[in-house]
Chain A
């Protein structure tokens, strides 16, 4: 009886401890929301206070932030969405096809490509950034609608690796049955193999979305910056090079860019946590 009550007390203690840590964890996000309603000068001097009286800027920061630095913020949001969705779609479609090809044909060339794909995973971006930016520029891949080709190329390593691992575990008999029934490779792939790949498609898709949405350096170097920006580029541009910085307006923009991420996270967190864990253990 004694051990039971002591373990109950321990559980209460644990719950309290974890709740306190959780509050600490959420605090930075909460502070951003709080400061997005404050007048510029008070963000630095009164970071932890509630916005009221003369420090309260209301929605002014959000309106100001939208057109701040002579580039409309909505354009950056739009380009971020376009680049992320288009690149993720391209990566999922083409790397899964390539991975199926590599796993099934499995000749010498496939092995060579596979090992180069795996090798590319350990190469940091700084190694290729200068030549990659020049190449992209000369091939006119410097717009939001063509940069997905670059993402497909640079991100292919991890995606191919994860898909090949999964395809090798799929039973061959199903595809054989499809072939006997007269399915060509293309039809076999799209109506038999692709549906079976769903769990890996979700994992890879989430990893790619998280990477591309938050990526700063690649789009910064590749895109034509006078015309196109993404959210991270926009925020860095305002904070880094724009004369007098209005911190309140920047916090408003950060708030705007965090809200969709949090909604996305809360609505499919089960898949996100699973996908990230899968990518980590394999990568």
Chain B
């Protein structure tokens, strides 16, 4: 008696699978073919704009980084000499290390404070949504405006000591850190709150019943459970730090300047994006090939960080 039933079961499974496949095949062509015919309406506008706004400028930019040019029409192929010049450029090297230092320091401050605030806001006190609204607000203000708001505040404080934010590199550095903390903490806090709220309540309760202190619960239950939020926020603040432009331009614009021994002017608070911009549109238009080469290096740097982030979040997902 048992054998036929098993056979029947297997047979039905095979039959169902066949039905399902043929079914979806029929339906998907029924849906797919008429849509595919409407290609000019659905896909073309976006793809055409994408070629104008991204694909063509990107490919041309790649090519121009190997050329010497002042406008795009008089490009002369020169090979990798632009990249060599970029690597020898003292201002670019300075901007790279300055940006890296800034990105790491801002990453630490922003994430520690944002996590702290998110932790406080998930403790079940009243008025949580009001605090959340307040902390998130600076995100909506643009970088240029932010820069001028804070340059007013810093100058208001520093003028009492007879100086201002443009006088010293460290003022500009810490000023930018404070500015970006004010802007970004609310953003990261929202992501942390989402992560914290996803922890099952009985997990924390179980830890309490087992006699864990608040600190032990935080470090052994809460933190491991929000690791994916932490990874996302760390990489977000890292890429934000590397790509920073508007705030840098508006707060200090690269000042104060320092003269190197060979006569080049090093703008001590100038970050990578601003350095590329200044090389493109600065006094000598002959340096545009070098600027484009710097831009390619910058692009590869940002892309690598993003790829590492992608693989880091993917491997975390697998572990969970």
Contacts and interface: CB of A to CB of B under 8 A. Distances in A.
Interface of A: 11, 14-15, 17-18, 21-22, 25-26, 28-29, 31-32, 35, 43-48, 94-95, 97-98, 100-102, 104-107, 113, 116-117, 120-124, 126-132, 134-136, 139, 141, 149-157, 160, 172, 175-176, 179-180, 184-186, 189, 210, 213-217, 231-232, 235-236, 239-240, 247, 250-251, 254, 257-258, 261-262, 264-266, 269, 272-273, 276-277, 280-281
A180 B276 CA distance: 56
A240 B187 CA distance: 29
B293 to A, nearest CB: 11
Contacts of A160: 46
A127 to B, nearest CB: 4
Given A134-B72, A217-B277, A254-B149, A104 B159 contact: no
Nearest to A117: B50
Interface in B145-202: 145, 148-150, 152-153, 155-157, 159, 182, 187, 190-191, 194
7 contacts: A11-B124, A22-B131, A46-B156, A127-B299, A153-B52, A232-B246, A280-B191
B56 A131 contact: yes
Contacts of A139: 52
A127 B249 contact: no
Given A121-B306, A127-B296, A153-B50, 18 more contacts: A14-B120, A15-B126, A35-B152, A97-B43, A120-B54, A123-B54, A130-B295, A131-B72, A136-B52, A152-B46, A153-B54, A210-B139, A214-B141, A214-B144, A217-B277, A232-B142, A232-B246, A257-B145
Contact of A127 (B61, B125, B194): B61
B61 A97 contact: no
Contacts of B266: none
Contacts of A216: 142-144, 245-246, 249
B16 interface: no
Contacts of B139: 210, 276
A66 to B, nearest CB: 17
Given A11-B125, A18-B121, A210-B140, A102 B43 contact: yes
Interface string B128-146: 0011111111111111110
Contacts of B97: none
Contact of B149 (A32, A107, A120, A185): A32
What 10 pairs across the A-B complex have the smallest Cβ distances?
Answer: A153-B53, A47-B156, A214-B142, A153-B49, A98-B46, A131-B57, A101-B42, A128-B57, A132-B57, A152-B49
Nearest to A217: B245
B10 interface: no
B187 to A, nearest CB: 7
Contacts of B127: 15
A95 B49 CA distance: 10
Interface string B86-124: 000000000000000000000000000000010011011
Nearest to B236: A280
B52 A44 contact: no
B47 interface: yes
B143 to A, nearest CB: 7
A265 B217 CA distance: 36
A97 B36 contact: no
A231 B253 CA distance: 19
A149 B148 contact: no
A172 B58 contact: no
A44 B159 contact: yes
Given A122-B306, A189-B42, A22 B299 contact: no
B292 interface: yes
B41 interface: yes
Nearest to B134: A22
Contacts of A45: 159
Contacts of B131: 18, 21-22
A201 to B, nearest CB: 15
A238 to B, nearest CB: 9
Nearest to A180: B30
B298 interface: yes
A94 B46 contact: yes
A277 B57 contact: no
Given A94-B49, A176-B30, A28 B145 contact: no
